[in-house]
């Protein structure tokens, strides 16, 4: 699959590498109660100072967020106050919560292929008990991928070197059936039993072949595979269906959102024509929200006065198919809660040399145009 090797963040590294030399401070939203990005009134900041926040989930009246850069899972109350509940989990990308447990999924190895230092191995699925503060390893999705290889792609060359990243969990959600993990490296969504840790394949999205660029030579790292790898990056549950966003190898128009029957795994609907979506949430009446973390990033060197806060957007797809857009800075994790849309913001600010800039924001309905 076309997917970088650094934990979750490499999913966006290619799109933002061209602005990596830009060092700036957030132009707005530097404190709770401000605005996100450079468009006043778009979103209210719930909390700030996070280190590349990726996954976002509901926890009581507040939230739990995965800080990919610092390797921490942080509880955020409704007033924006933070408390770290898990640390030393390098590359943590996906989070979910249920009862008195918080679940998290760690991304794969770094860009050198070596696992980042930490207590827990890459591609692990963890369960943290909020009462005892103990963390248990439930599963390791790389082991599952090596054994089952759900997408059927060739994994190793004649020298036993992997053609591409084999497992790179990026997003997670919990529903009545268990834990669903979107594994961008494995090109699949895995269902993990939250008690036993037993994993099984839930959904394998197909490669994208109806976009001409996906058929060009060199688009695939894996011999014998035709089309853009799907690369699942977001997963959400709503009213009997699971929604999966796929990156589409970052090729313009190759991104997808799949609506899948939660019991059977059968595809019910597909939304096409998206570019590198990195998260999904579902609102009222089946409205779909998709984050596009590096929308608007320049393809070449940024010009004078380039404003990094303009990078990123959230796409809203109404039940009738109409699409509207809100400019939110570098969004990744999405959550629809209590009738409102929440998002992580400045999720990859470290790539731009902007430390501790990550936020959770409440996106206003009026922001979409």
DSSP state for residue 121 in the 8-state scheme: -
Averaged pLDDT, 192-218 = 97
**40 exposed, middle or buried (CB, 10 Å; 0-12, 13-18, 19+)?**
exposed
pLDDT at 166 over 90: yes
Say yes or no: domain 10-367 is CATH 2.120.10.30: yes
If residue 248 lies in a helix (H) or strand (E), which one and from where to where?
Answer: none
pTM for the model stands at 0.91
Residues of the chain with pLDDT > 70, as a percent, come to 87
What is the C-alpha separation between 49 and 91, in angstroms, rounded? 17
Among candidate residues 318, 211, 298, the one with its CA nearest the CA of residue 256 = 211
17: pLDDT confidence band, cut at 50, 70 and 90? very low
pLDDT in tens, 64-92: 999 999 999 999 999 999 999 999 999 99
CA-to-CA distance for 282 and 286, rounded, in angstroms?
Answer: 6
Calculate mean pLDDT across residues 132-161: 96
Mean pLDDT of 146-170: 96
Q: Return d(Cα 199, Cα 236) in angstroms, integer.
A: 18
In this predicted model, what pLDDT tens digit does every residue of 289-325 receive, in sequence order?
999 998 988 877 777 888 999 999 999 999 999 999 9
Neighbouring residues of 166: CB distance < 8 A, sequence distance ≥ 6: 108, 142, 145, 146, 155, 185, 186
What is d(CA 182, CA 168) in angstroms, rounded to the nearest whole number?
9
């Amino acid at each position: 699959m076309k997917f970088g090797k650094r934990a979750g963040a490499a999913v966006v590294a290619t799109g933002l590498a061209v602005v990596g030399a830009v060092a700036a401070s957030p132009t707005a939203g530097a404190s709770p109660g401000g605005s996100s990005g450079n468009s006043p009134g778009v979103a209210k900041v719930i909390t700030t100072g996070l280190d590349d926040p990726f996954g976002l989930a509901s926890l009581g009246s507040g939230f739990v967020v995965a800080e990919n850069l610092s390797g921490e899972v942080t509880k955020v109350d409704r007033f924006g106050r933070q408390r770290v509940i898990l640390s030393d989990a390098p590359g943590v990308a996906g989070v979910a919560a249920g009862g008195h447990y918080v679940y998290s999924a760690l991304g794969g190895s770094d860009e050198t292929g070596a696992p980042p230092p930490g207590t827990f191995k890459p591609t692990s699925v963890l369960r943290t008990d909020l009462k005892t503060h103990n963390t248990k390893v439930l599963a390791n999705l790389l082991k599952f991928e090596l054994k089952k290889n759900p997408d059927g792609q060739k994994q190793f060359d004649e020298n036993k070197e992997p053609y591409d990243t084999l497992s790179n969990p990026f997003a997670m959600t919990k529903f009545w059936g268990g834990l669903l993990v979107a594994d961008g490296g494995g090109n699949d969504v895995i269902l993990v039993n939250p008690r036993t840790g037993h994993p099984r394949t839930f959904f394998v999205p197909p490669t994208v072949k109806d976009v001409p660029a996906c058929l060009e030579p060199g688009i695939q790292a894996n011999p014998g595979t035709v089309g853009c790898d799907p690369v699942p990056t977001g997963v959400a549950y709503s009213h009997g269906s699971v929604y999966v966003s796929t990156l589409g190898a970052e090729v313009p128009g190759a991104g997808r959102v799949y609506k899948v029957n939660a019991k059977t795994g059968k595809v019910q609907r597909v939304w096409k024509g998206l570019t590198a979506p990195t998260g999904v949430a579902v609102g009222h009446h089946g409205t779909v929200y998709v984050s596009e973390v590096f929308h608007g990033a320049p393809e070449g060197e940024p010009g004078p006065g380039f404003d990094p806060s303009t990078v990123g957007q959230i796409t809203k797809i109404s039940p009738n198919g109409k699409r509207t857009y809100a400019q939110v800075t570098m969004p990744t994790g999405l959550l629809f809660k209590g009738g409102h849309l929440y998002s992580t913001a400045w999720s990859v600010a470290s790539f731009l040399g902007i430390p501790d800039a990550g936020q959770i924001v409440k996106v206003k309905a009026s922001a979409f145009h």
